[in-house]
Amino acid sequence: MSSSYFEFFYIHMQSGSQPPRMAKWLEKSLMPICQKHGFGPMGFFNVDVGPSLPTAVVIFTYPSLTEMEALWGKLNSDPDYAAAVAEIEQDEPAFYRTEATLLRSTSFCPPLSATPAGDPPNKLFELRIYESPTNRQLTYLHDRFAGGEIDVFHRSGIHPILYADTVFGANLPNMAYLIPFESADHREKAWTAFRNDPDWIRIRDESIRHGGEIVRNITNMFLSPMGFSMLR
């Protein structure tokens, strides 16, 4: 299976006019220009629970690093994009800080596609980032997911849409995965079912015996999709 790449672009803002201005710009300017140049499925989210608020997250999808470079080359040479950037910045700052993380899909990551237009949107997305003490233990984490944990996920009502290792970013090595939920109640019931599943308890215990504590820290963020997001 060939790797895909994901860019998680975080836009940190100040409360007030910045969040609505940015949301409008993402919908009316950035997304149409990216679609014009053939960018893959894009996700646009607000962070509801996370380390810095208010924050918007844009998820870009690329089939390869070569294609990533080519797409941004087209975007940066497009006068419409230059005009859109000038517009959002002309009166006052649109944000106070941005940061980006590049991730590579794992071997068990499903193909990422846009949510069909007729499907009801999920109200909550959970982004979980698992840090491992070593790269070797990160491979053990992969083994645990591929070796039965994902099956328990699905049986419990947890259906992540991507799994990816961070290539460039903070707190390496780590693996991130993104889960859509219909509601907070759906999330609570699904995780309760997962935690109580005897197969999960067995898989976890075997994993600890084999590789020790292969997850040393978990970052957990709750996101809500913007109304125009291709992932929702």
Q: How do residues 71-106 score in pLDDT, each as one tens digit?
A: 999 999 999 999 999 999 988 899 999 999 999 999
Statement to judge: residues 128 and 220 lie in one domain: yes
Dihedral sign from CA coordinates of 147, 151, 156, 161: positive
Statement to judge: residues 138 and 82 lie in one domain: no
Mark which of 105, 135, 158 sits at the end of a domain. Answer: 105
User: Is residue 159 a part of any domain in this protein?
Assistant: yes
Mark which of 51, 74, 105 sits at the end of a domain. Answer: 105
In the chain, % of residues over pLDDT 90: 94
Structure confidence at residue 152 (pLDDT): 98
Give yes or no for residue 136 having a pLDDT over 70: yes
Structure confidence at residue 121 (pLDDT): 85
User: Is residue 115 a part of any domain in this protein?
Assistant: no
DSSP string for the chain:
----EEEEEEEE--SSSHHHHHHHHIIIIIHHHHHHTT----EEEEEEESSSSSEEEEEEEES-HHHHHHHHHHHHT-HHHHHHHHHHHSSS-S-SEEEEEEEEE-TTPPPP-PPPTTSPPPSEEEEEEEE-SSHHHHHHHHHHIIIIIHHHHHHHT---SEEEEEEESSSSSEEEEEEEES-HHHHHHHHHHHHT-HHHHHHHHHHHHHHS----EEEEEEEEE-TT-S--
Statement to judge: residues 82 and 164 lie in one domain: no
Statement to judge: residues 147 and 101 lie in one domain: no
User: Is residue 112 a part of any domain in this protein?
Assistant: no
Statement to judge: residues 95 and 179 lie in one domain: no
Q: What is the pTM of this model?
A: 0.95
Structure confidence at residue 34 (pLDDT): 98
Structure confidence at residue 180 (pLDDT): 97
User: Is residue 119 a part of any domain in this protein?
Assistant: no
Statement to judge: residues 128 and 179 lie in one domain: yes
Mean of per-residue pLDDT scores for the chain: 96
User: Is residue 40 a part of any domain in this protein?
Assistant: yes
Distance in angstroms (rounded) separating the CA atoms of residues 7 and 27: 18
Instruction: Please choose, from the candidates 115, 121, 124, 122, the residue with its C-alpha nearest in 3D space to the C-alpha of residue 230.
Output: 115
Statement to judge: residues 97 and 134 lie in one domain: no
User: Is residue 232 a part of any domain in this protein?
Assistant: no
CATH number for the domain spanning 213: value is 3.30.70.100
Mark which of 60, 75, 105 sits at the end of a domain. Answer: 105
Count of structural domains, the chain: 2
Statement to judge: residues 135 and 95 lie in one domain: no
Q: Which residues contact 190 (CB under 8 A, 6 or more apart)?
A: 156, 157, 158, 181
Query: Which residue segment(s) compose the domain that 95 sits in?
Result: 5-105
User: Is residue 217 a part of any domain in this protein?
Assistant: yes
In the chain, % of residues over pLDDT 70: 99
Statement to judge: residues 69 and 155 lie in one domain: no
Structure confidence at residue 120 (pLDDT): 85
Structure confidence at residue 214 (pLDDT): 96
Give yes or no for residue 1 having a pLDDT over 70: no
pLDDT in tens, 150-207: 999 999 999 999 999 999 999 999 999 999 999 999 999 999 999 999 999 999 999 9
Statement to judge: residues 56 and 144 lie in one domain: no
Q: What is the mean pLDDT of residues 205-232?
A: 95
Q: Which residues contact 144 (CB under 8 A, 6 or more apart)?
A: 203, 204, 207, 214
Statement to judge: residues 10 and 97 lie in one domain: yes
Statement to judge: residues 157 and 213 lie in one domain: yes
User: Is residue 169 a part of any domain in this protein?
Assistant: yes
Q: Encode burial over 68-107: b for 16+ CB neighbours within 10 A, e otherwise.
A: beebbeebeeeeebeebeeebeeeeebbeeeeebbbebbe
